[in-house]
Amino acid sequence: MRRSWKAIAAVALTGALAISGCGGGDDGGGDSSQVEVFSWWTGPGEADGLKAMQEQFEKQNPGTKFVNAAIAGGSGTQAQAVLASRLQNRKPPDSFQGHAGAELLDYIKAGQIEPLDSFYEENNLKAAYPQQLLEQITYQGKIYSVPVNIHRSNVLWYNPGILKDAGLSGPPTSIADFITALKAVKDKTGKVPLSLGAQWTADHLLENVLLGDLGTDAYNALWKPGADWSTPAVTKALTDFAEIMKYTTAEAASTDWQGASKAVVDGKAAFNIMGDWAYGYFVNPAPNGLGKKLDTDFKYAPSPGTDGTYMWLSDSFTLPKNAPHRGGALAWLKVASSKEGQDLFNPKKGSIPARKDADKSLYKDYLEYAFNEWNKPGVKLAGSFWHGVYANKKWHTDIDTAVGLFLQNKDVAKLQQALVGAAKNNAQ
């Protein structure tokens, strides 16, 4: 399923894309006295990776001041709200983080970011990145972002000791087995079966349950024009989602993803479904990481029902229109797109590089597994809707609203009705 997102997500926007003044003017120039880099990388692992790239940038650009404008909040929900206000007020940062894919369509449509085709040509990036990824970040023949990494969204992290105490021989491989395992943990151990954090982690769980129940092709079809979210298959998936939610704790909603993931390696919870950014947090040394050991403190597997499918997302950086320090922004993008920058960043972040020429020896344990899975012949791909691949911002918000209401009323029929409406309103 290595198809362009313009064939899936871009069609969700009606009308033609009209951007004035964006041209292809990304050929250098502008103030390079500093660079303000806006992201949501503030947590352990991700902050360490950003710091490593910052140090590389400062080494290569000694006369340019690096301003880290990161805003805390998992999945970028808070940061994106702040960014929207700045862009509306025409006070953009010099470069900002965005998920590659449909999430960038809103910025493109509003004429808020510049195409980077000249930058790609000057730095020979089209040869450095996989063709399939380039297709995912191209809209109407232009490229608007520089991918730094590839993340996997469908990962099940688990505590092997708790599974043993619950009488489970290994991680569940289907949604039905997952529900059985959650019940066994609750009945036999008294530990939290499934740790959950802030509301966005419930959205993240939902995409994994949909993929696990529906399968790759049917999941991907949900994001095409005219997709039917009212089918019995979707009803079953949402019913399973509701059942799984019964094995989480309401108290966990006050924490972000780090707290939910930490519960697993601390022996407080059996399972956590989270992207592979959790790996960097687990294994990086204290104080910024947890210093935990793979196979002792935690193990991993594809989320139930998704083996053989890579639910992917990519963090990328953009060049805002009228960036105050355009020269600094281009210097930053050069580091973010470089082999050196990505090999400094990704082992700490817990992701694999977007470039093809990475130093494979740097990617150990889980990251070696992820690297091989991503590059495996015949791997099936599914885009993460929550992390920007398939759903534009409006659709993303509509789903989040529907999930938020469900967390209050627990009504599967109302949840499905809301998701049906969201699809009709956004996939035109």
**CA dist., res. 412 & res. 352, Å (int):** 36
pLDDT in tens, 83-110: 999 999 999 999 999 988 888 998 999 9
Which residue(s) pair with 38 in the sheet? 96
Looking at the predicted structure, is the pLDDT value of residue 13 above 70?
no
What is the token pair recorded at 103? 């999430």
| Amino acid making up residue 31 | D
Mean of per-residue pLDDT scores for the chain? 89
CA angle in degrees (0–180, nearest 5) for 49-54-58: 155
Q: Are strands 34-38 and 65-68 parallel, antiparallel or unpaired?
A: parallel
274-288 pLDDT, tens digit per residue, is 999 899 889 888 887
Candidate from 72-81, 295-304, 371-380 with smallest mean pLDDT: 72-81
Residue among 127, 86, 132, 74 at smallest CA distance from 110? 86
- Digit-coded pLDDT (tens) for 303-337: 999 999 999 999 999 999 999 999 999 999 999 99
What distance in Å separates the CA atoms of residue 248 and residue 304, rounded to the nearest whole number?
16
pLDDT in tens, 157-199: 999 999 999 999 999 999 999 999 999 999 999 999 999 999 9
Prediction pTM value: 0.83
Q: Read off the pLDDT of each residue in 380-389 and give the average, rounded to a whole number.
A: 90
Residue 224, CB half-sphere, CA atoms under 13 Å: how many? Answer: 11
Which domains does the chain carry?
A: 22-150+315-383 (3.40.190.10), 155-311+386-426 (3.40.190.10)
Strands 192-194 and 155-158: unpaired
- Please report how many Cα atoms fall inside a 13 Å half-sphere around the Cα of residue 238, on the Cβ side: 23
> What pLDDT score does 375 carry?
80
Q: Rounded to 5 degrees, what angle do the CA atoms 72, 73, 79 make?
A: 75
Report whether pLDDT(73) > 60: yes
Alpha-carbon distance of 422 to 203, in angstroms, equals 14
For residue 41, the Cα-to-chain-centroid distance in whole angstroms is: 12
Residue 2 has pLDDT above 50, yes or no: no
DSSP SS3 for 142: strand
Cα 102 → chain centroid = 12
Sheet with 65-68, strands from edge to edge, namely 65-68, 34-38, 95-99, 315-317, 146-147
Residue 31: which of 67, 82, 70, 73 has the closest Cα? 67
